[in-house]
Copies of this chain bind each other. A is one copy, B any other.
Amino acid sequence: MADPRFFKVAGPFTVAEIAKRVGAEIAGAAAADLELHDVAPLETATERELSFLDNRRYLDRFRATRAGAVIVNAKLAPEAPKGATLLITPQPYRAYALAAQAFYPEPPPKPGIAPTAVIDPSATLGEGCAVEHNAVIGPGVVIGKRCAIGANTVLGASVVLGDDVRVGANATLSHSIIGSRVRIYTGVRIGQDGFGFAPDPDAPVKVPQLGRVIVGDDVEIGANTTIDRGAGPDTIIGPGTMIDNLVQIGHNVQIGRGCVLVSQVGISGSTRLGDYVMIGGQGGLTGHLTIGDGAKIGAQAGVMRDVEKGEAVLGSPAMPIREFHYLTAYIRRLATKHRGE
């Protein structure tokens, strides 16, 4: 059970209610009326709790679980212990996510403006917004409905937020237009100058950065991530894209819909990503590249050339993932043989 100091559990829900909510069929012991009071891992769940199996690695735990009900796919269902009610679905992890959302619904922002918040008179806020202590909201800012602005966060002049946006504490936004249902975590920096200057023997000449950051709906931006505004064109993050912590996105970068950027990724200026691109942790892309839809860029890859639609690359410099694995194995074999001589 989640620590009640930090999380408040809802429910109980019957198996039938959960099945409907997550789109699963009831099987196994099939106690549709059984009341479930919480979610829990297979190994600790009791008969009052709901668990799930998504990874064959945990099959033993599934066989021995005492959970009242378990979400599982049809293929692994026969391995269930006798007493367990099963919720059958082809996507157990997704179904678990929906069930956990039912037990632990995110509390909506508690509307109200903290007395210590500083809001410029020319800013406008939609109904139901929560502005926490010491937040600073600049002139001309436009905030939609039911947004939450964290403590000590700063929204610079004319920033626009859609509806249901949540900005964590100690974040900074400027020169940016943010969609709806976007989550911006603590310490994020959006809209500052890109790294643009013209070389000069005396001193670099700063190039004014005249674009914005445009963030689509349903985007998440992880803690301490930085997104620079465009130099002239805009920096664009497509809808539904998930960005982890400590990621760097340079000026003029364009990211499509539904991409996933794992932590510490860096994307240099003017590079364009299609839709549903995935980049593993610490992956780096140089500037002015084009990355096709659905490309998969491995962890720590160093991408210096365009990547085709659907291509998977790895290594630094990045190459097709099969070539990378072949090459790595080949070299090790060669060296081992040579050493043996």
Q: How far is the CA of A91 from the CA of B32 in the complex (A)?
A: 68
Q: Is the CB of A248 within 8 A of B264?
A: yes
Q: Is the CB of B205 within 8 A of A94?
A: yes
The reply to whether the CB of A254 lies closer than 8 angstroms to some CB of chain B is no
Interface string of A141-153 (1 = CB under 8 A from B): 0000000001110
Q: Is the CB of B97 within 8 A of A244?
A: no
- A222 / chain B contacts, CB cutoff of 8 Å: 192, 195, 226
Q: How far is the CA of A244 from the CA of B304 in the complex (A)?
A: 19
Q: Is the CB of A223 within 8 A of B226?
A: yes
Q: Is the CB of A106 within 8 A of B284?
A: no
CB distance from A111 to the nearest CB of B (A): 17
Q: How far is the CA of A106 from the CA of B208 in the complex (A)?
A: 8
- Comparing A13-21, A73-81, A167-175, the segment that makes contact with chain B is A167-175
Q: Is the CB of B98 within 8 A of A205?
A: yes
Q: How far is the CA of A104 from the CA of B248 in the complex (A)?
A: 26
Q: Is the CB of B118 within 8 A of A133?
A: yes
Q: How far is the CA of A140 from the CA of B6 in the complex (A)?
A: 10
Which one, B158, B242, B262, contacts A6 given CB within 8 A?
A: B158
The reply to whether the CB of A41 lies closer than 8 angstroms to some CB of chain B is yes
The reply to whether the CB of A124 lies closer than 8 angstroms to some CB of chain B is no
What is the oligomeric copy number? 3
Q: Is the CB of B250 within 8 A of A248?
A: no
A262-B258 contact, Cβ under 8 Å, with A207-B97, A242-B197, A317-B328: no
Which one, B171, B195, B211, B281, contacts A268 given CB within 8 A?
A: B281
Q: Is the CB of A332 within 8 A of B323?
A: yes
Binding site for B on A (CB under 8 A): 2-3, 5-7, 39-41, 91, 93-94, 96-98, 100-101, 103-104, 106, 114, 116, 118, 132-134, 136, 140, 150-152, 154, 156-158, 168-172, 174-175, 185-187, 189, 192-193, 195, 197-200, 203-208, 210-212, 218, 222-224, 226, 228, 232-233, 240, 242, 244-246, 248, 250, 258, 260, 262-264, 266, 268, 280-282, 284, 286, 299-300, 302, 304, 315-317, 319, 323, 326-328, 330-332, 334-335, 338-339
Those 6 A-B pairs whose CB atoms lie nearest each other, nearest first: A94-B198, A2-B210, A189-B223, A5-B158, A154-B169, A226-B245
